[in-house]
Amino acid sequence: MMKFEVTTIGTGAALPARGRLPSAQVVNLGDRLYMIDCGEGTQEQMRRNGIRMQCLEHIFISHMHGDHYLGLMGLLSTLHLLGRTDALYVYGPEPLGEVIHVQLRASQTYLRYPLHIRITPFASGEVVMEDERLVVTSLVLQHRIPSTGFILREKPGMRKLKRSSVDIIPHYLRTAVKAGADLDLPDGSRVPNEDLTDPPMEPRSYAYCSDTSYTPALVQHLIGVDLLYHESTFTELLADKAKETMHSTAAQAAMIARDARVGQLLLGHFSSRYKSVEPLLSEAAAVFPNTIASEEGGVYPIGPPTSV
């Protein structure tokens, strides 16, 4: 089974402190890397964590608060200096293009690689990006400035050959059968595909809910997601502050996870006031037990429990 995991590079909120770094994650699907948010210092942390920058093809920016994008220009510049020639795709809210262009112009940098900047559709469920391996769709979040989340869904794989049928299918027909074809035998009879194969593994999925107030409208889009990252800036004691600043409490993140019946909840975007994430984790786990707190450089598998 293809590797599918997420590395949380930074788990802090806007004010960096306590060794936490601003938001950035790298999703690895079969060694193809997808970045979500890119706070200051991300490239330095990728180096430390041995994440190969040149394997990046797509970068998704949730919103234009500095702790979610200020590492992007440095990363774009480093890829250029390292001699990249492959195209790079960056997705984000509308002002992102101007922010990038103004800075490339100021530094008179002419990138060696094609850089494509795409505006993320501000509507939940719209396709942001699609390649052979996955589909990324958007989630409209509720924050002080336009903010989107992203769902990364694996594409359905091939059907799996039953052990009993392996011997009767000629090698050259196996891919066709895995793709769903029936098998014509030399005697003229036909074996239906469902006798030869089992359905493919359920496609795995990861959802990233960046800065947002508690938004139950998200639940319908998150149903059955394997791993849900949801910001959890505050404990319940500061629920008012969460509301005012349009962030979520850990318990609110867990309510979304519970109501969407996700596999596992990953917490992050912890306020610098919390020395330990323990209170956030325990408040969330009281609502949704299968919850973990992200750590700097932590790697989390994406998939149903049996595959973990």
Active site residues: 67
Quote the least distance from Cβ 208 to a second copy, whole Å.
19
Quote the least distance from Cβ 60 to a second copy, whole Å.
16
d(CA 11, CA 25): 9
When the beta carbons of 47 and 155 are compared against a second copy, the nearer one is: 47
Quote the least distance from Cβ 45 to a second copy, whole Å.
10
Nearest-CA neighbor of 13 among 225, 214, 240, 242?
242
Burial readout 175-202 (b: 16 or more C-beta within 10 A, e: otherwise): eebbeebebeeeeeeeeebeebbeeebe
Quote the least distance from Cβ 218 to a second copy, whole Å.
22
When the beta carbons of 74 and 200 are compared against a second copy, the nearer one is: 74
Quote the least distance from Cβ 50 to a second copy, whole Å.
14
d(CA 282, CA 293): 10
Quote the least distance from Cβ 17 to a second copy, whole Å.
8
Structure tokens at 48: 């430390």
User: 226: which strand partners?
Assistant: none
Under a CB-based contact definition with an 8 Å cutoff, are residues 208 and 265 in contact? no
Under a CB-based contact definition with an 8 Å cutoff, are residues 28 and 4 in contact? yes
| Alpha carbon distance, N-terminus to C-terminus of the chain | 11
User: 140: which strand partners?
Assistant: 148
Q: Can you give the binding site for a second copy, defined by CB under 8 A?
A: 14-17, 21-22, 40-41, 43-44, 47, 64-67, 70-71, 73-74, 77-78, 81-82, 95-96, 98-99, 102-103, 105-109, 144-145
Sheet containing strand 298-301, edge to edge, reads: 115-119, 88-92, 56-60, 32-38, 24-29, 4-10, 298-301
DSSP 255: H
**Cβ partners under 8 Å of residue 134, min gap 6:** 29, 34, 152, 153, 154, 155
* H/E run at residue 300: strand 298-301
When the beta carbons of 48 and 116 are compared against a second copy, the nearer one is: 48
**Distance set, CA 191 to CA 106, 154, 176 (Å):** 66, 29, 13
When the beta carbons of 15 and 168 are compared against a second copy, the nearer one is: 15
When the beta carbons of 55 and 145 are compared against a second copy, the nearer one is: 145
When the beta carbons of 30 and 66 are compared against a second copy, the nearer one is: 66
Structure tokens at 22: 């601003």
When the beta carbons of 205 and 271 are compared against a second copy, the nearer one is: 271
Quote the least distance from Cβ 95 to a second copy, whole Å.
4
